[in-house]
Amino acid sequence: MKRTPASYLPPITLQDRKEIPIHQQLYDWFRRAITGGQLRPGQRVPSTRNLAAELKTSRMPVLGAFEQLLAEGYLEAFVGAGTYVARSIPDDTLSRPAEKARNGLQETAEKRGPRRLSRRGVALTNLPAQSWLDNLGAFRVSLPALDHFPIGVWSKLVARHSRRPSRGIMAYGGAMGYLPFREAIAEYLGAVRGVRCDASQILVTTGSQQALQLSAQVLLDPRDRVCLEEPGYPSARHAFMMAGAQLVPISVDHDGLNVEEVIRHSRSARALYVTPSHQYPMGTTMSATRRLLLLNWATRSGTWIIEDDYDSEYRFGSRPISSLQGLDTDGRVIYIGTFSKVLFPALRLGYVVVPKDLVAAYFAARDAADVFSSTLYQAALTDFIQEGHFARHIRRMRMLYIDRRKALVNALQIQMGDMTELIGAEAGMHLVALLPPGTDDVEVSRKAAQKGISVMPLSSCYLTTPRRGGLILGYGGVSARQIHDGISKLRMCVEKD
């Protein structure tokens, strides 16, 4: 082996800065020199004693750096024969293409492989930007009245579990969720939503979106057909796209999803997504007749029904509509709910109620997706429900949202009555204002976003081209004053259009 004296090393400059210890600077220098090709495989490096002397430093940091470089395989040492750059380091090291490029050799581009994404990765990336979701301004859809949340009570419950945490609060939890929480959810859903289930069927998720994603993964193979409401919830579409499914849009009218259309055209669908209590975004309620027709069809055809009951806590006219799941006698309905709207979105807690024979598959899918949900908030929310704060909060918010809805309808009628037509039942946290025919709702939403107002264009809920544009206006998170100001600004966005 050719001996290369220490003086042949490229110059090492040590910085006097205290933040980077000498051993680290030396390690970094050697690694860069080896991977950059300045030090060649098989080249001898100086002894630690000589290098320390040359650098006018103590021997300790040099020993530390060499130990690390030997451990990682950049250097190799032979007893009595000194230390060398590992001969096994590949000759065409990484920085070489760059070096060659600097030397005018243009091999670089050809030598680099493609940077391919999956088809679903490309499809998701190419979705149009939703700039109206970048701000939390007036009319942000799904945003509840955060300033009316009983934060004092809540933070005490959080502190209770955080200060003296049980082992369960810190260690690995079950993929299905924290059992007392699941029991509280089962009880609540049975009493208030007419859902027929026990705690063993409840999987706690990080919100309704994860429930959708897991359902898509468990139920759908690539290219399987899934029926969706048109217009419908855009994020549900994204979850099904991730699973590689084919989307079949089904029209919606004043009775909700057009079940007759489903039965006529969608014999081969593997699953169907529906928001029967309060259709998203149009706000209609599915009639009892259609519910029964849909369930009969699903049972006969072997189609899974995914029921998204995202905001049924807030129904102002009559009592909440009972769930589709409660009518199902064949275990065909997967029922999804969330606490994002009733409590607050950053809680990241939702749930899915699954037929008993699907529990094992959902469990495995959750385990493979992200193992389990953080336990602290699950425990705090269990107490919040058990101690009655939850029911009280819903009652208070129902009153508040009735007022906010009235204020919004009022402001729209007074300020924009000439250019909008309101639709949507007296329920939930949003309504739809149809715009004059020919108005580009995406353009209006973009302009509004620039003014700090978050309105969603109705057309973003369509797979096909809608006959008429509109705006989806959330009223959960806006005060009467913000409503008044917001609508003034919104009027300008439509006028200028």
Query: Closest distance between a copy of itself and the C-beta of residue 304, in Å?
Result: 8
Query: Closest distance between a copy of itself and the C-beta of residue 147, in Å?
Result: 9
Sign of the CA dihedral with 165 first, then 171, 172, and 174 last = negative
Between CA 472 and CA 371 the distance in angstroms is: 35
Between CA 298 and CA 305 the distance in angstroms is: 7
Q: What are the backbone dihedrals phi and psi of residue 132, each rounded to the nearest 5 degrees, phi first? A: -70, -10
Q: How deeply is 122 buried, as exposed, middle or buried, from its count of CB atoms within 10 A (0-12, 13-18, 19+)? A: exposed
Check binding of 17 to a copy of itself (CB under 8 A): no
Check binding of 107 to a copy of itself (CB under 8 A): no
* Binding positions for a copy of itself, 365-384, rule CB under 8 A: 365, 367-377
Taking CB under 8 A as the criterion, the residue among 251, 289, 450, 488 binding a copy of itself is: 289
Check binding of 452 to a copy of itself (CB under 8 A): no
Check binding of 263 to a copy of itself (CB under 8 A): no
Candidate segments 3-11, 124-132, 461-469, 484-492, binder of a copy of itself by CB under 8 A: 124-132
The closest of 197, 211, 194 to 273, measured between CA atoms, is 211
Q: What crossing angle do the helices spanning 375-386 and 389-416 adopt, rounded to 10°? A: 90
The residue with tokens 């030598």 is: 111
- Of all helices (H) and strands (E), which one includes residue 63? helix 59-72
- Of all helices (H) and strands (E), which one includes residue 472? strand 470-474
Contact flags string 217-256 toward a copy of itself, x per CB under 8 A: xxxxxx-x----------x--xx-xxxx----------x-
Taking CB under 8 A as the criterion, the residue among 1, 117, 399, 492 binding a copy of itself is: 117
Q: What are the distances in angstroms from CA 226 to CA 221, 241, 274? A: 10, 10, 11
Query: Closest distance between a copy of itself and the C-beta of residue 164, in Å?
Result: 8
Candidate segments 89-97, 432-440, 457-465, 482-490, binder of a copy of itself by CB under 8 A: 89-97
Candidate segments 1-9, 353-361, 406-414, 483-491, binder of a copy of itself by CB under 8 A: 353-361
Check binding of 162 to a copy of itself (CB under 8 A): yes
Taking CB under 8 A as the criterion, the residue among 6, 124, 480, 492 binding a copy of itself is: 124
Between CA 241 and CA 239 the distance in angstroms is: 5
Q: How many residues bind a copy of itself (CB under 8 A)?
A: 129
* Binding positions for a copy of itself, 125-144, rule CB under 8 A: 125, 127, 133, 136, 140, 142-143
Q: Which residue's CB is nearer to a copy of itself, number 289 or number 488?
A: 289
Q: 225 and 266 in contact (C-beta within 8 Å)?
A: yes
* Binding positions for a copy of itself, 264-283, rule CB under 8 A: 270
Candidate segments 1-9, 294-302, 396-404, 455-463, binder of a copy of itself by CB under 8 A: 294-302
Query: Closest distance between a copy of itself and the C-beta of residue 218, in Å?
Result: 4
Query: Closest distance between a copy of itself and the C-beta of residue 446, in Å?
Result: 19
* Binding positions for a copy of itself, 455-494, rule CB under 8 A: 477
Check binding of 45 to a copy of itself (CB under 8 A): no
Check binding of 89 to a copy of itself (CB under 8 A): yes
Check binding of 295 to a copy of itself (CB under 8 A): yes
Check binding of 173 to a copy of itself (CB under 8 A): yes
Query: Closest distance between a copy of itself and the C-beta of residue 381, in Å?
Result: 12
Percent helix, percent strand, percent coil in the chain, to nearest 5: 45, 15, 40
Q: What are the backbone dihedrals phi and psi of residue 82, each rounded to the nearest 5 degrees, phi first? A: 90, -175
Give the CB-side neighbour count of residue 63, counting CA atoms within 13 A: 4
Contacts of 182 (CB under 8 A, 6+ apart): 176, 199, 202, 204, 351
The alpha carbon of residue 184 and the mean position of all alpha carbons in its chain are separated, in whole angstroms, by: 25
Check binding of 357 to a copy of itself (CB under 8 A): yes
Query: Closest distance between a copy of itself and the C-beta of residue 189, in Å?
Result: 15
Query: Closest distance between a copy of itself and the C-beta of residue 236, in Å?
Result: 10
> Side by side, which strands form the sheet with 82-85?
44-45, 82-85, 75-78
Q: Which residue's CB is nearer to a copy of itself, number 91 or number 418?
A: 91
Between CA 341 and CA 335 the distance in angstroms is: 16
Q: Which residue's CB is nearer to a copy of itself, number 164 or number 496?
A: 164
Query: Closest distance between a copy of itself and the C-beta of residue 138, in Å?
Result: 13
Between CA 131 and CA 120 the distance in angstroms is: 22
Q: Which residue's CB is nearer to a copy of itself, number 207 or number 469?
A: 207
Taking CB under 8 A as the criterion, the residue among 4, 38, 57, 322 binding a copy of itself is: 322
Q: Which residue's CB is nearer to a copy of itself, number 18 or number 115?
A: 115
* Binding positions for a copy of itself, 374-433, rule CB under 8 A: 374-377
Between CA 226 and CA 306 the distance in angstroms is: 10
The residue with tokens 């933040």 is: 19
Q: 55 and 96 in contact (C-beta within 8 Å)?
A: no
Check binding of 201 to a copy of itself (CB under 8 A): no
